[in-house]
Every structure is written in C-alpha cells, then in structure tokens.
A and B are shown apart, each in its own frame.
Chain A
Amino acid sequence: MTLPPLDTAHMLAGGLVLVSFMMLYQDRLSALINLLALHALVLSLAVAWQAWIQDAPELIITAVTALGFKAIAIPLALQRMIKRLGIHREIEPVVGISATMLAGIGLVALALVVMLRTTASAAPLAREDIALALSVILLGMLIMVTRRNAVSQVAGFMSLENGLVLAATGAQGMPLVVEISVAFSILIAFIVIGIFLFRIRERFDTVEVQALDQFRGDRR
C-alpha cells in the first residue's frame, strides 16, 4: 500500500466514512441534506479516481451521475421540498446522539475487522475499499433506523447506496456497475421523491413517518 494511487483511493473512501459520521449526528434537516450533497461529491471523486487507476472509462458515467444527480439535483429538490413544507425544525432522533455515535464507531470497527480478515487473498486496493464501503453501508442503515423522518430516511438510503457504488467500483472489472448505479439514481428520483413524499404530504401534510405509525391493521 505504498503506491500513490492506493493512498488517494483510501483517502477518498475514508472521507466518505467521515461524511457518513457527520450525517449521523446532524440534527437539522437542511444541514443533513447539505452533507448528503457532500457525500455524493466525495463519492463521485472516488469513482472518478477508480476510473483513472483502473483505466475503466465507463466508470466516468457513474461518477458524472453521482455528481450531477446525487450531489446537485436531488439535494436541491429535497431542500425545496422541506422549505415548502416548513420542516426546517430539528429532527427527532430515536436514540441519543452519543449512543448513535458509539454504535456507529462499533459498526465501522466490525466492518473493518470482518472484511480485512476475510479478504486476505484479494487485491490490496479492493480489500480496504470494500471494508470502508461496508462501513458506509452500515452507517447508512444506522441513519435510517435512528430517524423517524421520511426525508432523513431517504438521506440515509442514499448514503447507503453510495456505499454500494463504492464497493462495486472497488471490485475491479465488475460487470453491470454503471447500469446499477444509474438504475439506483432513477429509482431514487421516481419512487422516493415522485411517489412517496408527495403522497405522504398530500394525505397528512407532514412527512413525519411517526404520524404514519398510529395506524395498524390489527388495531383498527
């Protein structure tokens, strides 16, 4: 791991983990969305770097999608949405910030221990990349479970998906990477924003998922 390209790849992947941590303790929606944009920006840099060192020009498409779509378009749309709904107020985390941070550290440690041990035979670059990518995925899940707000759950899902794209690009030469990353972006655009948030808003004038939880078929 003394080669310069590896160092840069690690730095970018590590940066992604760092931004995930920042998202974890963010308690305001608009700040969370800004961080999401930063997350996607770091991802697009990481993917572009992989395209360069792997000599895989098709990965540039993934990098550009991440930049244009996930770092600019979606965050802008989300910001407009929360402004229109007037929900700049604080997010209400289910667990306390410190407990969440500790859990996050634990998850990252777990990811590193598991992945570094089991990938001993894989190429050195892929090894660290996949371990850091798993950390991002687990942190994304943690964001999703510690928030009850639909917008922050979407933010958690997007950061999780960034982790997947990082893992897929790190596994050199994997087929379908570009297709999967583009499909994910389309999925986020259509399903999440188009259908769910608008329906939720139209019905309840709120995007608090907790408001949805009052209903259960069995308790009717």
Chain B
Amino acid sequence: MTALAPIAMQSLLATPALAAALLAALPGYRAAARLNVAASLLSLLAALLLLGARPAPSPLFLVDDLNIVFLVLNSFVGLTTSVFSASYIGHELETGHLTRTHLRFYHAIYQVMMFGMNLALIANSIGLMWVGVELATLSTVVMVGIYRTHAAIEAAWKYFILGSVGIALALFGTILVYLAARPVLGAGVPAMEWTLLVRRSGALEPALLNVAFVFLLLGYGTKVGLVPLHAWLPDAHAEGPTPISAVLSGLLLNVALYALLRFKILLAGNQGTVDPGVLMAALGLLSVLFAALMLYRRRDIKRLFAYSSIEHMGIIVFAFGMGGPLANFAGLLQMTLHSLTKSAIFFSVGHTAQVKGTQRIAEIGGLTASHPLLGWSLVAGVAAIAGLPPFGIFMSEFLIVSTSFARGPFLAAALALGLLVAFGALLTRLASVAFGEPRGPVGPVKASYLPSFAHLGLVLGAGIYLPPPLVAWFQHVAALLG
C-alpha cells in the first residue's frame, strides 16, 4: 500500500496530462467522451489510494490531511461531471452548437483543467501552486468562450481580464512571501516550500507577510468569487457549456480557496501579523449579503445559480475567517456539500436548458409535470442548496450561524439575514420553474441521472447520518486550519 503512494501521486498528474494529449488527437467524440470518463475515474482511484497511504513530502509535492479532502472531492466531482458531459455534448453536437473539432478541443481542455487543479492541490512549492491555479483558470477561460456567440465572447473576455488581474496580484503576493522567507530559509527552492515556511513562519518578517496576504487575498479571492471581484463569475457560468459551469462552481472556486487557506495557516504561525481571519470574514459576509440580494433580479437560470455560488463561497470564507475548530469543521462540511449540490443542480439545469432551448426562467415552467425525473432532481437540489432539512447543508449552515453567534452576534445576525434572503429568492424561482403549467417545449430528454442522483444522495445522507470516521477526519483537518 505504502509503496503505491508515490505512484498514486504521480498518476494524479500523469493521467490528466496523458489523457489531454490523447484526447487532442482522438477524432471520434463518443470514444473521446469515454476516454474522458476513464481518465477521471483513474484520477479518483489515485486520490482514494492516497487516502490510505501518503508519500513523504518532497520540495515540490505534498499530500497531507488538508489537501487530501480537496483531492478526493475534486476527482469525484470531476468524474461525475465527465459522465454528465458525455450525455450533454451529444445534444450540443446534434443541435449544431458545437462541431466535432470543438469537441476534440473541449475534451482535451477538460483534462488540462483537471491537471491544473491537481497540480495546485498537491504542490508543496507556493510557486507551483500558483502555476496550477492559473493553468486551471486559463483553460476555463477558453472553455467559456467555446460557443463563440456574442455573449460567450464577452463573458470570456471579462473573465480573462479580471482573471489576469487576479493572476498578477497572486503572483506578486507569492513573490513577497518568497522575499520574506529568503533571509530565513536561504535563496532558491526551499524559500518557496510550504512545509518549511510553516515550520519557520514565526521568524518571517510580519509586515511583509501582511502585505503579501492582502495581495494573495485579492488575487486568489478573484477566483473564489468574493464580492468586489466577482464580476466575471455569473457571465462565465451562464455563457459556457454547462459541464464547465458545474466544474467552475464545484471545483475551481474550491481550489482557489484552498490556496488562500494555505496562506492563512502560514500567517497564523506568526505572532506579529494581523489576523487574516478578520479580512476573510468581512469579505465573506459582504459576498453573502450582496449575492443574496442579487438573486432576486436574475432572469437567467444559470446566472441565478452562479450568484448562489457566490453566496455559498461567501458563507464558507466567512466560516474559515471566524476560525476555531467548530467553524472550520462547518466550513469544510459546507464546502464539500456545496460542491456536490451545486454541480448536481447544474447537471439538471443543463438538461433543462437543452430540452427547453432557453436559459430564461420566464420561458421554463412546470418541469415536474413535463419531465418528472429532471424536475424533481432540480427541486431536490435547490431545496438542498437553500438549506432545507434533511439535506446536509442545513446542518452545516446551522453550525456556522450558531458558532458565530457566541463570538460575534451582529455578524451572525447579518449572516442569518443573508441566508434567509437567499432562501426566499431561490424558492420563488424554483416554484416558477418546477411547478405550475408546463411552459416551453415538452419533448423527451436524453439525460444521465446517475451523477445528479449520486451527488444528491450523498448530500441527503450527510444530513441524516455523518459516519464517525468522516467526522473525525474533518475535525482533524479543522484543527490544522487553526
């Protein structure tokens, strides 16, 4: 088992890289879709193997208790999305939205994106982590523009401009961390090694770390979708192919958040720095309140759920910002469940938009009557994301609000207000889409329900019973986060 660990870690990078090269060369789209699923499955197996046995950290790569959570979640959602994507793209090809050449490109980029995210997650060097996040971001930029419509190009351009500003700020922050570490750890690779940085973080120059964190928060925060920097997110979600919306919400935002958490831990080890949690909690709360209000004005169904992602990332960043074992635990749980639920919602929304031929909420109606399976899986997803019991998100949100009441009653009240406002918006929209007279085309839908049912089943299961090993694991990670 232990002997397999280094191989498993390497295959997390090698599988998507090889698959991307193969997919770029493979002409048939059915075979490509299958290969895409197979490669994602291999990545998941590798991640699961690492759960049991971990290789020793090297200067460049590291698998520890924190990133294994992200790795497993990432490769699981990557796999289910590739299954969904296989049934989604067939329809896009039939309707002529995408050509065969586009699809070849699409599959190759999908694996490039998975490669970027895996690289960011297992990097021990903060420079390499930056490279991974940026590779993943830029590959999604290309994917968002793939339909080449007026709107898709505008969305991709906006994403590119804001994303590149984020890239620049995050790299500058990384350079500043290196500058702070160089006098302590010596020039070169060691001064970028996260494990060494954390061990010696008390000796680093606090003022420089403070400034570095501000840049990193703004840079990676752009990708998390925190509010003053969120403008790219709704457009990118609405105009790209739906599997990409699912991956953006479910995975990419988490990866950027992971990068932020690494630096938060770094700052926490230094006595002289400001508390990074305060900044994070403030930005998180702002995101929740802003996104909750914006939910009411949405007319496009994918845009609606994009704003809901901003809201949830806000909740998660707020929880990690508050810190402490309980809030961190709730934040981790919320993050996991949000990824699963939001991608399940996008799976349903993708098929809905295909069968109705539109993303406008006003033109979709009575989905539970015309397409019961599709409609009810959307209802279940929205109920879960809005925080209704028995779904797991109810529990994690309840934990976050109740733990913060003890420490900041006003903050907790504001957060609860944001949650309620968002709850109202989501349920009003859901009622018009899912119930009532069917509106729009009612033709049959060729959908794969397995990914969405698997996700929702897990979210429901988490709400009813959390297995003790999982709780112990998350509690351990929460303690690491400080």
Contact = CB atoms under 8 A, between A and B. Distances in A.
Interface of A: 114-115, 117-122, 126, 130, 133-134, 137, 140-141, 144, 150, 153, 157, 160-161, 163-164, 167-168, 171-176, 179-180, 183, 187, 191-192, 195-196, 199-200, 203-204, 209, 212-213, 215, 217-218, 220
B189 interface: yes
Interface of A is mostly: helix
Contacts of B207: 117-120
A191 B238 CA distance: 21
B175 interface: yes
B111 to A, nearest CB: 18
Contact of A141 (B150, B165, B191, B300): B165
Given A157-B161, A173-B187, A217-B299, 19 more contacts: A114-B211, A118-B208, A120-B205, A120-B207, A122-B180, A130-B176, A137-B168, A141-B165, A160-B168, A164-B171, A164-B175, A176-B127, A176-B128, A180-B127, A180-B131, A183-B131, A200-B153, A217-B300, A218-B299
B138 A191 contact: yes
Contacts of A204: 150
B348 to A, nearest CB: 19
Contact of B175 (A121, A130, A140): A130
B145 interface: yes
Given A191-B141, A220-B360, A173 B299 contact: no
Interface string B162-188: 001100100110011011101100011
A213 to B, nearest CB: 7
A140 B165 CA distance: 10
Contact of B156 (A118, A164, A183, A196): A196
A196 B157 contact: yes
A133 B142 CA distance: 29
B297 interface: yes
A215 B148 CA distance: 14
A217 B148 contact: no
A108 to B, nearest CB: 15
Contacts of A140: 168
Contact of A173 (B125, B171, B188): B188
A122 B235 CA distance: 42
Contacts of A192: 160
Q: 10 closest Cβ contacts across the A-B interface?
A: A173-B187, A118-B207, A212-B154, A176-B127, A217-B300, A118-B211, A175-B189, A217-B238, A173-B188, A121-B205
B42 to A, nearest CB: 27
Contacts of B145: 195-196, 199
Contacts of A173: 182, 187-188, 191
Interface in B201-218: 205, 207-208, 210-211
Contact of B142 (A150, A168, A175, A191): A191
10 contacts: A118-B208, A119-B205, A121-B205, A122-B208, A173-B188, A175-B125, A176-B127, A195-B142, A215-B151, A218-B298
Contact of A130 (B150, B179, B189, B235): B179
A180 B148 CA distance: 29
B157 A172 contact: no
B239 interface: yes
Contacts of B142: 191, 195
A30 to B, nearest CB: 22
B160 A119 contact: no
Interface in B234-254: 234-235, 238-239
Contact of B183 (A121, A150, A168, A176): A121
Given A122-B179, A126-B179, A144-B161, A164 B168 contact: yes
A117 B207 CA distance: 8
Nearest to A172: B187
A199 B153 contact: yes
Contacts of A196: 145, 153, 156-157, 160
Contacts of A213: 154
B175 A157 contact: no
A215 B175 contact: no
A86 to B, nearest CB: 21
A197 to B, nearest CB: 10
A215 B239 CA distance: 12
B264 interface: no
A137 B128 CA distance: 21
A182 B179 CA distance: 22
Given A121-B183, A176-B131, A180-B131, A200 B303 contact: no
Given A218-B300, A218-B303, A172 B156 contact: no
Contacts of A215: 150-151, 154
Contact of B148 (A114, A175, A203, A212): A203
A27 to B, nearest CB: 21
B192 interface: yes
Contacts of A191: 138, 141-142, 160
A121 B181 CA distance: 11
B263 to A, nearest CB: 16
B138 A187 contact: yes
Nearest to A119: B208
B165 A144 contact: yes
B175 A171 contact: yes
Contacts of B180: 122
A174 B191 CA distance: 8
Given A137-B172, A144-B161, A215-B154, A122 B210 contact: no
A144 B178 CA distance: 27
B168 A161 contact: yes
A91 B156 CA distance: 23
A218 to B, nearest CB: 5
B172 A118 contact: no
